Chains A and B, each alone.
Chain A
Amino acid sequence: MADENNPNSTNGKNGGKVGLLEKVKAGVKEHIQGLKTDIPAKAKEQIEGLKDPTKTQVYTSIFRHKHDDTPRNRALGVLSNVFLHLHPAKINRDAVRYSYTWGMGGMTFYLFIVLTYTGVLLMFYYHPSKVQAFRDVLYLEHDVPFGKILRNMHRWAAHLMVIGVWLHMFRVFLTGSYKKPREFNWNIGVLLLVFTLLLSFTGYLLPDDQLGFWAVTVGTNMARATPLLGHEGPFGSMLGMTPYNDVRFGLLGGSIVDANALLRSYIWHCIGIPIVASILMIVHFWRVRKDGGISGPAPVMLEAEADKPRRGPKAAGE
C-alpha cells in the first residue's frame, strides 16, 4: 500500500488524523490571536496615517510636491499645475499692478469660460429649428429651473466679453505692447477680436425673435453688396452673381434668413467659431510667454536711446 512508505503511517490512521487537527487548531488559534492584536494594531497605525492625508499614496499621486510655505513649493505650485503653468513661477514686481494691466485679457478669458459653461447648459434646452427655437426660449424663461438667470448670464457675459476685448486692446495699444517682439501676437489678438464679435453676432439670431431676426437681416444684407461676390455689389452681376448663388446665400444657406440660417448660426456659434477661437487663444497665451511675458511695466526709454539696441551683443559692445 502507499501507506507503507509514509513515516506517519506507523502511528495508525487515527494518530495521523489527530496530528492534522491539532495543526489546524493551532493555526486557527494563531490567526484568531492575530485578529485580536495585529489587525487592530495595523488598523490603528493606518488610521493614524490617514490623519495626515498628504502622506497617502492617492494624495501624493495627485499632488507632486509638498505644500510647506517655501519659495520652492510656491514655484512648484504654479509649474506643476496644468492650468496654472501658463504663468511663469515669478514675475516682475510691478507686473501685478492693476493700474498697468487692467486685467482685461484675463477677465475676457474668464468670461469665455462662463459663456462656454452657461452655453452648454442652454444647449440642453434648445432646438435650432424654426418650430422649436422661440418656444424653447420661452420654456427656458418660464419653466426651466434657473433658466431665466442662465439665459441672462449668457447674454450679459457676451456683452461684457465684447467690452473686455476692446478695453484689452486699448490697453495693449496705449502701452505700446504690440511693438517688437510682440507684433505677431497683436495679430492673433485682432483675429480674436473678430471672432469674439462673430460669436456674439451668430448668437444674436438664436432666440429667433424680431430683434435677432432683423439684426441679422440688416447684418447679412451687407454681404449682398460684397464686391465681386455679392449680387448687388460692384461687378457682382457681371460675374453671374444672383441672390441664389452669392456670398450671402452661402452664409444663410438660403436667400432669406430662415431655417437654414438658424441652423448655420447655431453650428457656427456652438461649434465652429468656439473651436477656432480656442485654438487662437492657445496660440495667444503661449506667445505671451514666448515673447517674454507681459510687456511691462518696463523702464522708460529716453529719446537718445531710441535707435540703440537695449540688450544683446550690440548693446554690450557699445
Chain B
Amino acid sequence: MDWRQLWEICSAPDNVPIVGLIPLLAFYIYLAWRQAHANDVLIAQLETDPALAKTHHRKTWPFKPGWQKEVHVWPFLLRIEFLAAIIVTIVLMVWSITLNAPLEEPANPNLTMNPAKAPWYFLGLQEMLVYFDPWIAGVVMPTLIIVGLMAIPYIDTNPLGSGYYTWKQRKFSISTFLFGFIILWVAMIIIGTFIRGPGWQWFWPGQTWDHNRLIYEVNRDLPDIFGITSNVAKAIFGGIVVIGYYLLGGFLVYSLFRRYMGKDFKRMSLLQFSIVQFFLLTMVALPLKMALRLLWHIKYVWITPWFNV
C-alpha cells in the first residue's frame, strides 16, 4: 500500500473537487431519498384511504387550516439567498486561502505529460477512449448525451412525480438517470482520476505509479474469435452483431415495458418509445463493451474499412 501515492493523487489541487463531490453526492442522494421515502409512505396511505385523500393537503410537511399558503419573498426567501451567498463566499475564500490553483511548467509540446489528463469533468469521456474509437468517445457520445438529456422531458410520459421527490411512482426514470449520472458519468470520472496512471494503465488506489510498467495485452476482435478472416465477412458479421443487439435488445425492452410498465407504454407514441429504446440500449452498451474489453480482451466488435465499433 503506497499511501504517499494515494495522497498525491487525492491532494492534487485539481482532483480536490472530485474528492469533494463524492460526499456531496452522498449527502444529496440521502436527502432526496429521505424525502422520497416520506412521500411514498404518504402516497401509500392516501391510496388506501380515499376519504383522507380528499381532505389531506398532500404534503409531508405540517399544514393546518388557517395557515397562510404563501409567504413573502422578502424576507423569507431573500434571507436564505443572502445566507447562501455568504456561505458560498466563505467556503470559496477559505478554499482559496488554503489551497493554491495548480500551475505546472510552461507549456512544452516536446515534453508529453504522462498521464496526460483532460480536465476532471471530461475524464469520463477520456476513460471511454479505452473502449471506443475517438469518433465515438469524443464526438458521438457527447452529442448523444446532450441530445438524450434534451429528449428526457419529451419521452418521459409519466405524469406522476412532478414537483415532489418519489421513488415508487418513477422507478424506471429515476433508476435510468442514476445509472447514467452515477455509474456512467461520475464513476467513470472517479476511475479516470484515481485509477488511471501513466500510460492510462489501471493502478488500484494505493498502488505505486510505475512509469516503466508495460502490459502485454493481446487484444482480439470479436470476428477473430469466430474464425472470420475476410474483411467483407468481418464487416457483415459485425454489422449483424451490432444491429442484432439493438433489435433483440429492443424486443427485450419492449416486452419488459409491456409487462411491468403497461400504463407508461400506453401513454407513449411509437416515436417516443423507440427513442427510449435507443438511448437505453446505447447506455447499457457502454458497460457491455467495457466488460468485453476488460474481461475478454476484445477490442472491436464491428470492423469496416471506414470505422470500427
Residues of A within 8 A of B (CB): 71, 74-75, 77-78, 84, 87-100, 102-103, 106-107, 110-111, 114, 134, 137-138, 141, 148-149, 151-157, 159-160, 162-163, 166-167, 170-171, 173-180, 182-183, 186-187, 190, 193-194, 197, 200-201, 204, 207-215, 217-219, 221-227, 230, 232-235, 256-257, 295-303, 306-307
Contact = CB atoms under 8 A, between A and B. Distances in A.
A167 B17 CA distance: 13
Nearest to A111: B88
21 contacts: A87-B73, A96-B80, A107-B85, A114-B92, A149-B96, A152-B97, A175-B163, A175-B165, A176-B161, A186-B150, A193-B149, A208-B106, A214-B116, A214-B117, A222-B137, A227-B135, A234-B135, A296-B164, A299-B59, A300-B164, A302-B43
Nearest to A104: B28
B134 interface: yes
B72 A197 contact: no
Contact of B84 (A92, A103, A134, A213): A103
Given A111-B88, A300-B39, A232 B134 contact: yes
Contacts of B59: 94, 297, 299-300
Contacts of B177: 173-174
Nearest to A247: B139
A288 to B, nearest CB: 13
Nearest to B177: A173
Contact of A152 (B100, B139, B181, B263): B100
B163 A174 contact: no
B118 A215 contact: yes
Interface string B42-82: 11001100000100011101000001111111111110110
Contacts of A166: 181
Contacts of A92: 69-71
B99 interface: yes
Interface in B157-172: 158-166, 169-170
Contact of A211 (B88, B97, B104): B104
B116 A91 contact: no
B103 interface: yes
Interface stretch (B2-10, B107-115, B243-251, B279-287): B107-115
Interface stretch (B119-127, B203-211, B222-230): B119-127
A91 B77 contact: yes
A91 B73 contact: yes
A215 to B, nearest CB: 5
A75 B101 CA distance: 43
Nearest to A303: B47
Given A90-B72, A91-B71, A111-B88, A306 B263 contact: yes
B28 A102 contact: yes
A151 to B, nearest CB: 5
B17 A159 contact: yes
A209 B106 contact: yes
Contacts of B263: 306
A25 B139 CA distance: 95
B121 A156 contact: no
Contacts of A230: 135, 139
Of B73, B77, B150, B306, chain A has the most CB atoms within 10 Å of the CB of: B73
B151 to A, nearest CB: 9
Given A95-B77, A110-B88, 8 more contacts: A77-B74, A148-B100, A153-B96, A160-B92, A175-B163, A209-B104, A256-B109, A297-B164
A298 B163 contact: yes
Nearest to A213: B107
B256 interface: no
B288 interface: no
B233 interface: no
B96 to A, nearest CB: 4
Interface in B14-54: 14, 16-17, 20-21, 24-25, 28, 31-32, 35-36, 39, 42-43, 46-47, 53
A78 B92 contact: no
A100 B152 contact: no
A186 B152 contact: yes
A218 B20 CA distance: 25
Contact of A163 (B17, B53, B67, B89): B17
Contacts of B133: 225
A208 B103 CA distance: 9
Given A97-B61, A296-B164, A223 B28 contact: no
Given A114-B92, A149-B97, A153-B96, A297 B17 contact: no
A111 B87 CA distance: 12
A98 B80 contact: yes
A212 B71 contact: no
